[in-house]
């Protein structure tokens, strides 16, 4: 499952090909909703959480969620013509082909591709209406986003929900996936299975603020590996340069204790933590 920063990085590649341009060719496999027309103007390419959004004129928005295996591709120098289209079309995993005078944008294997009509009407519902704020924002913009995430967390969830689940809930805040929830909790020494009602607002604010920083940094400095740590020599070959994520049984980078892992929780996704840095609180009350 991609984290929000992955989609922001994809947007940086896709936008120059599409934004402000006219659609020359459109092909979609498994599209739900109205089909964009050749000749339509592309007003913007946006991100909200894990969704890439392509706004056409006429209030039509194309929404793509990459799921576990989807990806965007912008072949450098590709020029749309029948031969180019036929060549890419032969790949059975191709889901989207969008061409403008600026080039070609392709999407492979995405499970969710649909269109909806956006509107400025306040009660107009779209597939994104219930999503929390996008956490992938610069430091200067983070405070109101974090405050809204904390407000939603308090308002939406029963307090007995686990913080590890709450961080993945895209209706609380959009953009955190499996990597960042483990990393953020380790950064603040929080046991992943702490009920939300045992955490004060200051702690929740700190967790979401760290998530914003990590998402933003990785979206602006995309490298071969996402990092939540400074690069560490001798760690080449791992997918992610992390404190705890995907480091089951490896020594904690802070205290050396072997990292633990669990698939408990509402989403049955792997959570990683250090049993010493993020100990289960003795008194049942967790604080930062
Ligand atoms: Zn530790």
The domain that holds 109 is classified in CATH as 3.20.190.10
User: 222 in a domain, yes or no?
Assistant: yes
State the residue range of the domain holding 173.
139-273
CA–centroid distance, residue 279 to ligand 1 (Å): 9
What element of type H or E holds 201? helix 201-220
pLDDT of 286 over the 90 cut: no
CA–centroid distance, residue 110 to ligand 1 (Å): 37
Same domain, yes or no: 112 and 143: no
The pLDDT, as a whole number, for residue 222 is: 58
How many domains would you assign to the chain? 2
Report the candidate in 29, 2, 6, 37 with the shortest Cα–Cα distance to residue 91: 29
Mean pLDDT of the residues in the chain: 90
CA–centroid distance, residue 209 to ligand 1 (Å): 21
Average pLDDT over residues 18-27: 98
Average pLDDT over residues 195-212: 95
User: 278 in a domain, yes or no?
Assistant: no
H helices, E strands: number in the chain: 6, 10
What letters, b where the CB count within 10 A reaches 16 and e where it falls short, cover 76-113?
eebebeeebeeebeeeeebbbbbbbebbbbbbbebebb
Q: Which of 83, 117, 151 is the last residue of a domain?
A: 117
Report the candidate in 223, 263, 257 with the shortest Cα–Cα distance to residue 240: 223
CA–centroid distance, residue 78 to ligand 1 (Å): 48
Same domain, yes or no: 246 and 146: yes
CA–centroid distance, residue 200 to ligand 1 (Å): 22
User: 131 in a domain, yes or no?
Assistant: no
Same domain, yes or no: 96 and 64: yes
User: 32 in a domain, yes or no?
Assistant: yes
Same domain, yes or no: 234 and 193: yes
User: What CATH number should be reported for the domain holding residue 236?
Assistant: 1.10.8.50
Question: Cα dist. 116→8, 58, 60, 120 in Å?
Answer: 21, 11, 6, 13
Q: How distant is the alpha carbon of residue 14 from its chain centre?
A: 16
Report the candidate in 82, 100, 81, 96 with the shortest Cα–Cα distance to residue 22: 100
CA–centroid distance, residue 252 to ligand 1 (Å): 5
CA–centroid distance, residue 202 to ligand 1 (Å): 22
CA–centroid distance, residue 65 to ligand 1 (Å): 34
The beta strand positions in the chain, using DSSP E, are 25-28, 42-48, 51-56, 60-65, 71-73, 94-100, 103-108, 112-117, 260-262, 271-273
Same domain, yes or no: 64 and 164: no
In this predicted model, what pLDDT tens digit does every residue of 222-235 receive, in sequence order? Answer: 565 667 775 444 44
Give, as residue ranges, everything with CB less than 5 Å from ion ligand 1. Answer: 252, 254-255, 257, 274, 276-277
């Amino acid at each position: 499952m991609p984290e929000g920063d992955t989609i922001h990085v994809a947007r940086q590649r896709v936008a120059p090909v599409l934004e402000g341009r006219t659609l020359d060719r459109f092909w979609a496999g498994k599209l739900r909703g109205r089909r964009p027309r050749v000749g339509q103007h592309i007003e913007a390419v946006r991100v909200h959480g894990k969704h890439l959004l392509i706004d056409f004129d006429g209030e039509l928005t194309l929404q793509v969620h990459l799921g576990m295996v989807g990806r965007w591709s912008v072949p450098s120098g590709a020029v749309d013509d029948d031969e180019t289209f036929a060549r890419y079309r032969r790949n059975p995993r191709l889901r989207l082909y969008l061409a403008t005078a600026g080039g070609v944008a392709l999407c492979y294997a995405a499970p969710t591709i649909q269109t909806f009509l956006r509107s400025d009407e306040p009660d107009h519902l779209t597939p994104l209406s219930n999503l929390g704020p996008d956490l992938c924002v610069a430091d200067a913009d983070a405070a109101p986003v974090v405050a809204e995430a904390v407000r939603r967390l308090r308002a939406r969830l029963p307090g007995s929900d686990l913080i590890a689940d709450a961080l993945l809930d895209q209706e609380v805040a959009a953009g955190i996936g499996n990597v960042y929830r483990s990393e953020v909790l380790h950064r603040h020494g929080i046991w992943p299975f702490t009920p939300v009602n045992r955490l004060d607002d200051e702690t929740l604010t700190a967790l979401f603020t760290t998530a914003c920083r990590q998402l933003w940094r990785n979206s602006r400095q995309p490298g071969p590996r996402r990092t939540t740590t400074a690069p560490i020599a001798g760690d080449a070959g791992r997918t992610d340069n992390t404190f705890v994520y995907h480091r089951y049984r490896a020594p904690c980078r802070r205290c050396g204790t072997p990292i633990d892992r669990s698939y408990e929780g509402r989403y049955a996704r792997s959570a990683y933590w250090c049993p010493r840095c993020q100990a289960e609180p003795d008194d049942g009350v967790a604080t930062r």
